Amino acid sequence: MKDYYYFLGISQEASEEDIKKAYRKLSLKYHPDKNDNDDFFADRFREIQEAYETLSDPARRHSYDQNLESHQRSFRYNVPPAIKTFSANKIHAKKGEEIIISWQTTNADVVKVLPFGLEKPYGERIFKITEFKDGKFQLLLHATNSLLHKTVVQGITITEVFENDSEKFKNTVEEMFKPQPRTRINKAGQPKIVMLLLGIMILAIAVYILVKNFS
């Protein structure tokens, strides 16, 4: 049974105003028009709408709460969640190549496959990797028993394969010139090449000062 409170990131005691605020915030974040009509965001947006339409209607919410409570009572709340299988048809792939992953969990009422989002306790998903990070693409399966507040996690790492050395060199160069996430050291989010050149300059200045002091 879908947990609409989980979809909206609110508690079961949330007020009508809390529900509206959560819906407004999430609908703006996941609206397909703002995310190039990506399938993941479209699916997530539909889940958010479905949750809001149910919880914002007092009669529908009351009926849903009763069904959710019954589901939780029948759920095996005293058994921790487990991941039986989590696999991919390949762990080495080229950019744009089709990947198939499958999974099966037990005793989990909330299941997520990152970076995609909420999924069924068992299933299969087909996707294409459009971007690798440092030559890798990370998949994480989260299986949660929300009544026990316990989660188990399992990961799959898919490494990038290049057709030839020139393509690998091209990707390396592109990565060097791509803006980086802002950090305490790299506050402006400068590309790796800029930080590398800056480091070389600082090292050269330090060597120059040392040589000058000892001459």
- Sequence ranges of the chain with CATH classification 1.10.287.110: 4-74
Has residue 165 got a pLDDT over 60? Answer: no
The rounded distance, in Å, linking the Cα atoms of 10 and 82 is 25
| Range with lowest mean pLDDT among 94-103, 159-168, 188-197, 201-210 | 159-168
Mean pLDDT to the nearest integer, 147-166: 84
Place of tokens 């759920």: 75
Mean pLDDT to the nearest integer, 176-205: 78
Pick the CATH number of 82-161 from 2.60.40.10, 3.60.10.10, 3.40.50.620, 2.70.98.60: 2.60.40.10
- Sequence ranges of the chain with CATH classification 2.60.40.10: 82-161
* Residues 56 and 5: beta-carbon distance below 8 Å: no
Fold entry, domain 4-74? Helix Hairpins (1.10.287)
CA nearest to 124, candidates 145, 99, 144, 107:
99
* Residues 163 and 97: beta-carbon distance below 8 Å: no
Give residue 170's pLDDT.
61
Mean pLDDT to the nearest integer, 91-110: 91
Has residue 167 got a pLDDT over 60? Answer: no
The rounded distance, in Å, linking the Cα atoms of 123 and 103 is 6
Has residue 74 got a pLDDT over 70? Answer: no
Give residue 75's pLDDT.
59
| Range with lowest mean pLDDT among 51-65, 76-90, 91-105 | 76-90
